[in-house]
Amino acid sequence: MGPTQLSAAPNPGAVVAVVPVADSGFALAWQGGSVTVPALTAFAELEPRWLWWSARTTAPAVLDAGVRPSRCWDLGTVGRLLHGLRRDDAAAVWAAEHGLPEPPHPSGPLDLLDLHGESGDAVRPDGQLSREWLRGRCDADLRHAEHWARLAVDLQVEQEARARALPDPRRTPTSVPMTVLTSYAESAASLLAVELERDGLPVDVEVAAGLLHDVIGPRPADVAEEHALRARRDDLVLQHFAGEQVDLRSPGQVRALLARIGVDVPDTRSWRLEPYAKTSPAVAALLTWRKAERTATTYGWRWLDDNVADGRLRGAWGSADAAAGRMTAQAGLHNLPVEMRPAVRAEPGHLLVRADLGQIEPRVLATVSGDAGLAAAAREPDMYTPVAAALRCDRPTAKVSVLAAMYGQTSGTAGAALRDMDRAYPAAMAYLRSAEDAGLNRRDIRTYGGRLLRLTTLPAGEPVGEHVAVSGGFGRFARNAMVQGAAAELFKAWAGTVRAGLTDLGGEIVLCLHDELLVHVPADRAPQAAVLLSDALARTAAWWACGSGVRFVAEVTTGESWADTH
DNA sequence: TCGGTCACGTA
DNA sequence: CGTACGTGACCGAG
């Protein structure tokens, strides 16, 4: 082994850390060297695995520089994955990797340790990162940025070693260990989140306006007209109550109002009122009003004005929620009512291609639990047909039984069904019980892909699952999170593969919806995009579910609007 | 002005 | 058939 040359260029495909410095270029570092450059193009040709402290802070500058990264490693994202962190800032990730206590937020006041040393070291005597560095010195100039990039390289090596050392849950492991692959996929998802936020979802404002007009009436010209229209909607309900002056938006007042016509309910949720709608026109009118009111307040003219610009609906995206690691989105991107989906339209000369994973959670359960019987069922296009045969019941009963087992049913008559499930699929049931047990006893657990679910240090009532503490403890939460979390990991791995394949087609992912991908492509490439969505799933499942025998299936459809693809 | 609660949209 | 998330309105406390 000769001495390392500091000027040695990275090999193609190497991990290369990038730290942008405003208006000055980029600091780059890799194992064996580092450099500062005015532009990224020469390094982009090496197709490196770009390494950054977080995509959210770094990727915009990289994308602006004209680079479309195909692979990356996100220290914040991987830190959250490996350590179950609720934060992804450099200080928290660094501390977790080095076994140090969780540091205060970088915005907190500086102390003597932060300012230690002649020039101010990046690492404090106690091993934590200096808050002075975190607050701007790291990208103040290229010299400091280069040091910051080297630290990133060191931390990546440590993270990868940790990921590599975790047990691989697959029956037939591939050469790259499972949690390293998950780290790649989760990092890609964080980059995708940045792109989704920048590019947005194509929405035809004219179509959206037409839909709104039909449901909530014309766009009000001023505040007075807005109130008048609101009053007119309210009157359609109130006329059923002899002109009483009641605030329909106040659940308490509505409940009292309903009591006066003999409808006595503990709350006024729509599913509870639904049975009365058949016989009571007043209740029916109230439910219709509720529907329109939801649209008017949450997805109305204000929403359109605030969130849609240049024909794109934009909101903040997160790559992993706190509970199980599913993607999150704001601005209504994840809860757009079905009635509004015709407004999601491909731009001229383009088409939307939608793919959704069929029966994803039971197939994931078959994979992660290694249950041979359930895996055999998961080789079929419809899992519930063989399950019904095994349980000697009809298909709807089979479906309910599987879901009840996965989610920990607490109501209804599940006893017999669960006994049958135990007989037919003992390994899957044992897996679920073991997850529930970990939850009940507050033990940390890892998902199939290696995400740490922290149940030990979580204070009761902490909003990881806002209602967990009150509604049933951590047992059901853990049982659910192990399945939902693994499904999220598969989904993101799939999405990352699709994203990489879309570059050649000139297309982009425009929406991620837990088990559904929406892709926007030039119209003549739509057939290729459809093939890509299916192929990417097969290729992803080949390593993700290696040796399990489980098949994953996607339904793929093409159309001009999102609604057309259903 | 704030957090809690209700309610409801999506998966 | 449970979990999770984001949004907006009301309501009472401060």
CA angle (A190, A555, A529) in 5-degree steps: 60
Find the Å distance, CA of residue A251 to C1' of nucleotide C11: 11
pLDDT bin (cut points 50, 70, 90) of residue A412 is: low
For A402-423, what is the mean pLDDT?
Answer: 80
Instruction: Establish if A48 belongs to a structural domain.
Output: yes
Residue at minimum CA to C1' distance from nucleotide C4? A465
CA pseudo-torsion sign A102, A106, A107, A110: positive
Find the Å distance, CA of residue A207 to C1' of nucleotide B5: 35
Find the Å distance, CA of residue A326 to C1' of nucleotide C5: 9
Say which nucleotide is closest to residue A249, CA to C1' distance.
C9
Question: Rounded to an integer, what distance in angstroms lies between the CA atom of residue A527 and that of residue A295?
Answer: 35
- Given a contact cutoff of 8 angstroms between Cβ atoms, the answer to whether A275 and A163 are in contact is no
Which of A379, A383, A406 minimizes the C-alpha distance to A548? A379
CATH number for the domain spanning A509: value is 3.30.70.370
For A246-268, what is the mean pLDDT?
Answer: 90
- State whether A344 and A277 are in the same domain: no
**Domain end position, chosen among A113, A134, A165:** A165
- State whether A557 and A447 are in the same domain: no
Find the Å distance, CA of residue A526 to C1' of nucleotide B10: 26
Find the Å distance, CA of residue A475 to C1' of nucleotide B3: 28
Instruction: Establish if A199 belongs to a structural domain.
Output: no
Model confidence pLDDT, tens digit, residues A2-18: 443 445 788 888 999 99
Residue at minimum CA to C1' distance from nucleotide B11? A514
Find the Å distance, CA of residue A332 to C1' of nucleotide C7: 8
Residue where the block lists tokens 């299936």: A553
Could you tell me which residues come within 8 angstroms of residue A55 by beta carbon, excluding any fewer than 6 positions away? A72, A74, A77, A187, A190, A191, A193, A194
Find the Å distance, CA of residue A293 to C1' of nucleotide C7: 13
Find the Å distance, CA of residue A297 to C1' of nucleotide B1: 22
- State whether A416 and A466 are in the same domain: yes
Q: What pLDDT is recorded for position A411? A: 65
Least confident of A104-108, A293-297, A438-442: A104-108
Instruction: Establish if A365 belongs to a structural domain.
Output: no
Instruction: Establish if A131 belongs to a structural domain.
Output: yes
Find the Å distance, CA of residue A248 to C1' of nucleotide C8: 14
Q: What pLDDT is recorded for position A227? A: 86
Find the Å distance, CA of residue A250 to C1' of nucleotide B1: 21
Find the Å distance, CA of residue A45 to C1' of nucleotide C5: 39
- State whether A343 and A382 are in the same domain: no
Say which nucleotide is closest to residue A291, CA to C1' distance.
B8
Nucleotides of C under 7 A from a protein CB: 1-11
Question: Rounded to an integer, what distance in angstroms lies between the CA atom of residue A296 and that of residue A12?
Answer: 53
For A123-139, what is the mean pLDDT?
Answer: 87
Say which nucleotide is closest to residue A399, CA to C1' distance.
C1
Find the Å distance, CA of residue A480 to C1' of nucleotide B7: 24
- State whether A85 and A140 are in the same domain: yes
Residue at minimum CA to C1' distance from nucleotide C11? A250
Residue where the block lists tokens 């989140």: A193
- State whether A472 and A492 are in the same domain: no
Tokens describing residue A346? 């491909």
Instruction: Establish if A398 belongs to a structural domain.
Output: yes
Instruction: Establish if A191 belongs to a structural domain.
Output: no
Q: What pLDDT is recorded for position A135? A: 84
Say which nucleotide is closest to residue A404, CA to C1' distance.
C1
Say which nucleotide is closest to residue A339, CA to C1' distance.
B9
Question: Rounded to an integer, what distance in angstroms lies between the CA atom of residue A216 and that of residue A209?
Answer: 10
Find the Å distance, CA of residue A140 to C1' of nucleotide B11: 42
Could you tell me which residues come within 8 angstroms of residue A98 by beta carbon, excluding any fewer than 6 positions away? A127, A158
Q: What pLDDT is recorded for position A49? A: 98
Which contiguous run of DSSP H or E holds residue A351? strand A350-357
CATH number for the domain spanning A281: value is 1.20.1060
Find the Å distance, CA of residue A119 to C1' of nucleotide C6: 45
Total of domains in chain A: 4
Say which nucleotide is closest to residue A295, CA to C1' distance.
B9
- Looking at every residue in chain A, the average pLDDT score rounds to 91
- State whether A150 and A26 are in the same domain: yes
Say which nucleotide is closest to residue A360, CA to C1' distance.
B11
Q: What pLDDT is recorded for position A354? A: 97
Model confidence pLDDT, tens digit, residues A165-209: 999 999 999 999 999 999 999 999 999 999 999 999 999 999 999
Question: Rounded to an integer, what distance in angstroms lies between the CA atom of residue A73 and that of residue A92?
Answer: 17
Could you tell me which residues come within 8 angstroms of residue A53 by beta carbon, excluding any fewer than 6 positions away? A19, A75, A76, A90, A93, A148, A152
Residue at minimum CA to C1' distance from nucleotide C9? A249
Residue at minimum CA to C1' distance from nucleotide C3? A480
Model confidence pLDDT, tens digit, residues A498-557: 999 999 999 999 999 999 999 999 999 999 999 999 999 999 999 999 999 999 999 999
Instruction: Establish if A200 belongs to a structural domain.
Output: no
Give me the residues paired with residue A58 across strands.
none
- State whether A296 and A345 are in the same domain: no
**Domain end position, chosen among A483, A511, A531:** A483
- Given a contact cutoff of 8 angstroms between Cβ atoms, the answer to whether A486 and A447 are in contact is yes
Residue ranges making up the domain that contains A218: 205-305
**Domain end position, chosen among A483, A501, A534:** A483
Residue at minimum CA to C1' distance from nucleotide C1? A404
Is the pLDDT assigned to residue A117 strictly greater than 60? no
Between A8 and A438, name the one with better pLDDT.
Answer: A438
Say which nucleotide is closest to residue A477, CA to C1' distance.
C3
Say which nucleotide is closest to residue A269, CA to C1' distance.
B7
Model confidence pLDDT, tens digit, residues A78-93: 999 999 999 999 999 9
Q: Is A321 helix (H, G, I), strand (E, B) or coil?
A: coil
pTM: 0.94
Is the pLDDT assigned to residue A467 strictly greater than 60? no
- State whether A125 and A250 are in the same domain: no
Residue at minimum CA to C1' distance from nucleotide B8? A294
- State whether A471 and A498 are in the same domain: no
Residue at minimum CA to C1' distance from nucleotide C5? A328
Between A469 and A73, name the one with better pLDDT.
Answer: A73
Tokens describing residue A381? 């296009």
Between A220 and A533, name the one with better pLDDT.
Answer: A533
Could you give the C-alpha distances from A509 to A225, A286, A355, A496, in angstroms and in order? 39, 39, 11, 10
Residue at minimum CA to C1' distance from nucleotide C10? A250
Instruction: Establish if A3 belongs to a structural domain.
Output: no
For A235-248, what is the mean pLDDT?
Answer: 87
Find the Å distance, CA of residue A335 to C1' of nucleotide C5: 9
Nucleotides of B under 7 A from a protein CB: 6-11
- State whether A228 and A337 are in the same domain: no
Which residues surround strand B, with CB < 7 Å? A 251, 254-255, 267-271, 290-291, 294, 334-338, 356, 513-516
- State whether A161 and A301 are in the same domain: no
Q: What pLDDT is recorded for position A413? A: 63
